[in-house]
Structure 1
Amino acid sequence: MTKPKHILVFRFSAMGDVAMTIPVIKSLIQQHKNIKITVVSRPFLKPLFLDLENVAFIGLDVDNEYKGFFGLWKLAAELKNLKFDAVADLHNVLRTKILRTFLSSSVRSIEVIDKGRNEKKALTRTEDKIFIPLKSTHERYADVFRKLGFEIDLNQNALLAPKKLPQNFEFKSAQTRKIGIAPFAQYSFKMYPLDLMDKVIELLSKDPQFEIYFFGGGKKEKEQINILTKKFPETTSCAGKFNLVNELKVISNLDTMIAMDSANAHLASIFGVNTITLWGATHPFAGFFPFLQPLSNGLTPDLTKFPNLPCSIYGNKTCPGYEDAMRTITPESVVELIKKTLR
């Protein structure tokens, strides 16, 4: 089998899903020097790929300019001009299925991610649940390239190097440990209750060895973070202060990131930052654990009290009566894990 030299990669969707492609693509181009990758995704995600050699990025407005059947027909016609010889579909949704169909006559190889839907249904169902760790999403991405003929070993070499801090920004002290906190998630069922996060912040802010930096996006999140910084004036908000390029620079220099099952966990982990994750309706076994982080860095609810967890892969729903499951993760256990991992 002749290996392709130029691979077109599809991965739209949320930031965290796209961030998980980074160590896989970096491993691929490190271990196979003579290939080129073109990533097709949403425009605002371009900064994630700036440090990858032999990787081009095309940001597309698939919700407007290339919307619908005829928009995708137009997109496929434009993509054919790139003269790629393989497609790696890391998304496998209706949009990319249509694109694959339009491109199939002009490309040698097309491979698609296996999302493991049946395994995930077995993990999240309440009857006859099969509670075992599933293949990670990073490995599922890597499998697509393996099917194209490339061996990939995902290891420490896939991590991105820390970046130089943004201009006009510096940490308060060289002697302290820098703690990032991203207290929000897309769905409430995987977000640590804010009153408990309040307690975590209080415990950390009393310790002079820590500096605390908040991360979040969206108007509501910024407003809530502003409330936290007023309550804890020794903390710093990064929400809305930087574009993604500069936010990544700050994140890459943290000692620890505390996050939910959310994008900030993946952004921190691709730089090798110690990442503590708090899980609610979802679970580390589903395959979305941050890259190369030890499983002990994930705190989950008490499964003796909530044995049907996980109830969801994405956190958009939970089991009846499980709305307060995350309250069994105590603020003290979060702080103790941070201190333990930083010793």
Structure 2
Amino acid sequence: MPKPEHIILIRFSAMGDVAMTVPVLRALTEKYPQLKVTVLTRGFFKPLFEGLNNVEVFSADLKVRHKGLLGLYKLSKELKLLGFDAVADLHNVLRSKILKFFFAGKKVEQIDKGRAEKKALIAGKIFKQIKTTHQRYADVFEKLGYPIDLAKPKFPSKRIIPKEISEQVRQDYSMVGIAPFAAHKGKMYPLDKMEKVIEQLSKQNQVFLFGGGKNEIQILNEISAKYENVVSVAGKLSFMEELNLISNLDVMLSMDSGNAHLAAMFGIKVITIWGVTHPFAGFASFNQSESNMLLADREQYSLIPTSIYGNKYPKEYEDCSGSVSVKKVVEKVMSTISNT
């Protein structure tokens, strides 16, 4: 059977997981420039794929037009008009399974999420690095006839900084991005400690704060107002503009969350602080040194990782990432800047 020439890639959410497809797609399209890929995802994520050769985005409207079984049937008919040869299901959820049913006759491969290994990791039966999500994505393309090597990645050039922010950028300072929030509190560094990190880093660097949602915007605005060289961009930029700014950072400090993956896809050095989750589960940001992953004290919090996504943990583990000292975080950021 000839190799497919046009592949539909399915990955609807979440932002971090979608962002993790980008370095894999870059490696794929660099090695196989004749291959066409259509990414089926939420329209909001379209800016992630800007600049990738031979990659287009098909926006799924899962809340209205493509909602429910009938909506997915409509979506399958619209996709069939594109004349694709194969499907790479990087999500492997009920929606994508229904779509694959409608694609009967097409070559289909889906991600192996490694559920048994992850379950064993959470249960404490194993404590070792399991296959990364990036490699699991790459495995799907290998099954379709397109093996790729993620070991020597290429990254895009810096994008143009949005005008609203470029006027505030200090050319004599390094640019440090900080994204202090995560979907679950057990994944977050305590905000009082993070503010101390911000205060210390702002003395020698320009700090840009990232977040979203009314509460986060308010908190970040209050912090930025206290210190010189601190700019909150939360709620002030479009998603595309945020990405453009991130591509110019010298370093990103993030939780185990989406912003770490956004920075990593540009080849930015990323320092991550981990709470109740752990890099061993395979969700570390792309191409980053293990030394840049600051982990909660596992002697004190022996059940880590308590869950894969950080949504389940004992109450006393809520602030476990606070076992990483402010001094250690600041020193890691500064040393990373020095080596950039």
- Residue of structure 1 in register with 2:17 after alignment: 17
- Residue of structure 2 in register with 1:267 after alignment: 262
Aligned equivalents of 2:41, 2:298: Cα separation in 1: 37
Q: Which moved more, 1:9-18 or 1:225-234?
A: 225-234
Post-superposition offset of 1:174: 1.9
Aligned equivalents of 2:36, 2:193: Cα separation in 1: 47
Aligned equivalents of 2:62, 2:180: Cα separation in 1: 29
Q: Is the 8 A contact 2:33 2:53 kept in 1?
A: no
- Residue of structure 1 in register with 2:216 after alignment: 221
- The answer as to 2:150 corresponding to 1:154 is yes
Q: RMSD between aligned alpha carbons?
A: 1.2
Q: 2:327 aligns with which of 323, 328, 332?
A: 332
- Residue of structure 2 in register with 1:145 after alignment: 141
- Residue of structure 2 in register with 1:91 after alignment: 91
Post-superposition offset of 1:156: 4.1
Aligned equivalents of 1:294, 1:157: Cα separation in 2: 14
How many equivalent pairs are there? Answer: 337
Aligned equivalents of 2:267, 2:135: Cα separation in 1: 18
- Residue of structure 2 in register with 1:191 after alignment: 188
Aligned equivalents of 1:7, 1:224: Cα separation in 2: 43
Please, which runs of 5 or more residues in structure 1 have no aligned partner?
none
- State how 1:3-14 maps to structure 2 within 5 Å: 3-14=3-14
- State how 1:170-319 maps to structure 2 within 5 Å: 170=166, 171-205=168-202, 207=203, 209-319=204-314
- Residue of structure 2 in register with 1:115 after alignment: 113
Q: Is the 8 A contact 1:282 1:313 kept in 2?
A: yes
Post-superposition offset of 1:198: 1.1
- Residue of structure 2 in register with 1:131 after alignment: 127
Residue type at the aligned position of 1:154: L
Q: Is the 8 A contact 1:135 1:287 kept in 2?
A: yes
Q: Structure 2 length as normaliser, TM-score?
A: 0.96
- State how 1:35-114 maps to structure 2 within 5 Å: 35-105=35-105, 107=106, 109-114=107-112
Percent identity between matched residues is 50
Please, which runs of 5 or more residues in structure 2 have no aligned partner?
none
Aligned equivalents of 1:169, 1:74: Cα separation in 2: 41
Deviations 1:148-173 (A, max 9, x none): 01110114433222112123432532
Q: Is the 8 A contact 1:142 1:152 kept in 2?
A: yes
Post-superposition offset of 1:63: 2.2
Q: Is the 8 A contact 1:308 1:319 kept in 2?
A: no
Post-superposition offset of 1:233: 4.0
Q: Which moved more, 1:183-192 or 1:164-173?
A: 164-173
- Residue of structure 1 in register with 2:163 after alignment: 167
Post-superposition offset of 1:237: 0.9
Q: Runs of at least 4 residues of structure 1 off by over 6 A?
A: none
Aligned equivalents of 1:90, 1:147: Cα separation in 2: 12
Deviations 1:163-211 (A, max 9, x none): 1212343253222111111010111110111011011112212x3x311
Aligned equivalents of 1:228, 1:72: Cα separation in 2: 44
Q: Structure 1 length as normaliser, TM-score?
A: 0.95
Aligned equivalents of 2:317, 2:127: Cα separation in 1: 18
